[in-house]
Amino acid sequence: MALQNLEFEFESENTQTINPEWSHMGVTGSGDLEVMFTKKDLGGKVQAKVCTPVVGFDAVWEKMLGKFVNDTGVGNIVIEINDDNATPIVVYMRLRQALAEATAKEAE
């Protein structure tokens, strides 16, 4: 099974970021994915890197990640995703879980 690597960059209006230097959520397993956030000064932007076995869904990944950035206003982070055939709703759920975990650490 060949993996493809996708890279995207998004502008963010409201640059909410994470407090810890990095955060992790999920595991790479059948129909699931692993999400990692790394805090990085990107001038408010978000960089996203996706490793997936699914070919031909680049536009879906870009739309899903763009929606996440727009909905949350997150910025100054690198998002890394290791995918194992997750559906778009699972991707979005994991991204929201990872952000909730990372911002909850801020309150500690």
Q: Which domain holds residue 13?
A: 4-107
Of residues 36 and 25, which shows the higher confidence score? 36
pTM for this structure? 0.89
| 69-101 pLDDT per residue, tens | 999 999 999 999 999 999 999 999 999 999 998
Is the pLDDT assigned to residue 106 strictly greater than 70?
no
Is the pLDDT assigned to residue 48 strictly greater than 60?
yes
Question: Closest by alpha carbon to 83, among 70, 96, 71, 92?
Answer: 92
Total domain count, the chain? 1
Is the pLDDT assigned to residue 10 strictly greater than 70?
yes
Q: Please give the pLDDT value at position 107.
A: 52
Residue 80 makes CB contacts below 8 A (sequence gap 6+) with 35, 36, 37, 38, 48, 49, 50, 51
Stretch 32-44: mean pLDDT, rounded? 92
